[in-house]
Amino acid sequence: MPTHIMTILTYFGDSMLLLPTAVIIAVLLYWKNDDRRVVLFWLLAFGCAGFIVSLSKIAFLGYGIGSARFNFTGFSGHSAMAATLWPVMLWLLSARLSSVWRKLMLSVGYLIPLIVGISRLELNAHSVSEVVAGLILGYTLSTAFLISQRATRPRGFSLAQLCLVLLLPMLLLGNGQVATTQQFLQRLSVQLAGIDHAWTREDLLNQGR
């Protein structure tokens, strides 16, 4: 598939899109749900994904902790964050639809992260082990959240409300500006480890020979 298509698809896992969308989900959960604790549960799930991904990257970039055998340098952040967010987003937006449509939209929510993971492989941004690990992490967190909410049905959206909810994500998609999370983690890792430059995949693979 053409690179520009893969670039568009991979943006569904970019922090520039997902962080604001995660905040929107928190606001919607507070607005459309009588149990305010659900907001805390969501922020905990999404925050755990970001923390674990960041920790794995710092461990590798700063200290070379990875696996040459499995070509693993840390969880794929795009895959993990997408798998944490999109199932919950589609569940929330479909809350008042019929059972068939809810299941269909939830399936889409689980499919989007898989497509993001494939795009990361096509763009040579990650290895298979990193994408699979990221998807497992994200799917575990989103599924745990959804199971915890299986008895709840948030209030539905009017068409105007739905358009308002989707406005910011659509604007971000149209803009296409990517986050600089990786560069920030590289600088942070170097400072924490007290080294001259961050570890690279080539360093890991050469060490494992």
Predicted pLDDT of residue 176: 67
Question: pTM of this prediction?
Answer: 0.91
Q: Tokens 């970001």 correspond to what residue?
A: 50
Ordered alpha helix ranges (H), 74-127: 77-93, 99-122
Tens-place pLDDT, residues 111-135: 999 999 999 999 999 999 999 999 9
Give dist(CA 140, CA 45) in Å, integer: 9
Amino acid at site 56: S
Q: For the chain, what are the domain ranges?
A: 3-207
